[in-house]
Structure 1
Amino acid sequence: MTDTPDLGNVQWRKASVSESTNGCLEVAFLPGDRVALRDNEDPDNPPFVVTRHVWECFIDGAKGNEFDIPA
């Protein structure tokens, strides 16, 4: 996406398992059917913004173990 969304008032969320650690990916659901992703260790770095469809495809793949780290 080429336009930069206003992220001033978004609510960033992260997995509850990461509450006691750093190094987590945070997600914010934006108006206009978009999703922003950022590294909580570097919140000043511009987030990566994708469509909700792209996000849902990624989540489906993660649930199906498609992104597990090989042993």
Structure 2
Amino acid sequence: MSTPEAPQTHWRKSTHSGAVENECVEIADLNDHIAIRDSKNPDTGHLTLTRQSFGALLTHLTSQP
């Protein structure tokens, strides 16, 4: 799902990003959606998820060994 990005979107890096600054994901709050992008290639687009889907993704990722 792709939703147009707001002109003043505030992106923030994951707190789980490694020591290498260019190997991170960034997220942005788009009101009813959460956007996720690759910090190495921020101009190539982003993945947009509903808040519910983003929560399910985080639950799944944190349950992995």
* TM-score normalised to structure 1 length: 0.74
For structure 2, the residue ranges without an aligned partner over 5 or more in a row are none
Residue identity over aligned pairs, in percent, reads 31
Larger-Rg structure: 1
For structure 1, the residue ranges without an aligned partner over 5 or more in a row are none
CA RMSD of aligned residues (A): 1.9
Question: Which structure exhibits the higher relative contact order, with contacts defined as CA atoms closer than 8 Å and separated by 6 or more residues?
Answer: 2
**Any runs of at least 4 consecutive aligned residues in structure 1 with deviations exceeding 4 A, and if so which?**
none
Letter of the structure 1 residue corresponding to residue 28 of structure 2 = A
Q: How many residues align?
A: 64
Greater share of residues in strand: 2
The answer to whether the 8 A contact 2:17-2:25 is kept is no
- Cα deviations by residue, 1:12-34 (Å, 9 ceiling, x for unpaired): 11123537411111111112x10
